[in-house]
Amino acid sequence: MEITGRITKDALARKVGNEKQVVNFSIAINDSYKLKGSTEYKHITTFIDCSYWLNAKLAQWLKKGALVQLFGRVGISTYIGHDGSAMGSLTFHINSLKILAFAKNEGVSEKADSTPKKQKQSDDPDDLPF
C-alpha cells in the first residue's frame, strides 16, 4: 500500500528492547470531494500514525511539514480507554519511504538568497586577491 502526506510533528526515534529502534511520526492526508448536486467542496483531513523500523538515523530528516511517500501495510490496535470504552487506532508500518519535499527551515527567511555574491572586479592588476 502507498500513502503520501505531510508530517505533522518532528519524528522521534526511541529504543525498543536492547537493540532495536523505531521511528514514530504522524502524517496528515488532505482530501476533498464535491457532494452530488452541490457546487461546494468538502475538505477532510486524515491523520495516520506511522512507524519505521529499518533506519533510526532517518528521524533527523523527518521534520514537521516534510512531504513523504510511504510504502507498507496498515496495522490495527485495539484497547480499552480510561472510561472503559473500546478504542482503536491505525498505524502504518513502513517498509520504504521517500522524502518528496523537505520541511522549510523556520530560522531562515524564505527571501534569503543562498547563492554567493560575485565580488566586484577591479581593472587594476595590483588589486588581485592572491
Give the residue numbers spanning the domain of 74: 2-33+40-104
112 located within any domain: no
Q: Is the pLDDT of residue 117 over 60?
A: no
For the segment 83-114, what is each residue's pLDDT rounded down to a tens digit? Answer: 999 988 889 999 999 999 998 876 544 444 44
Contact 63, 25 (CB under 8 A): no
126 located within any domain: no
130 located within any domain: no
127 located within any domain: no
28 located within any domain: yes
What is the C-alpha separation between 81 and 95, in angstroms, rounded? 30
| Grid cell at residue 99 | 522524502
Contact partners, residue 66, CB within 8 Å, separation at least 6? 6, 7, 99, 101, 102, 103
Lowest mean pLDDT among 5-19, 23-37, 87-101, 102-116: 102-116
Domains contained in the chain, number: 1
Q: What is the mean pLDDT of the chain?
A: 84
52 located within any domain: yes
Helix (H, G, I), strand (E, B) or coil at 127: helix
120 located within any domain: no
Give CA angle at 78 (74, 80), nearest 5°.
160
Q: What is the pLDDT of residue 108?
A: 45
In eight-state DSSP terms, residue 125 is G
| CATH number for the domain harbouring residue 96 | 2.40.50.140
Give CA angle at 104 (115, 113), nearest 5°.
20
Q: Is the pLDDT of residue 124 over 80?
A: no
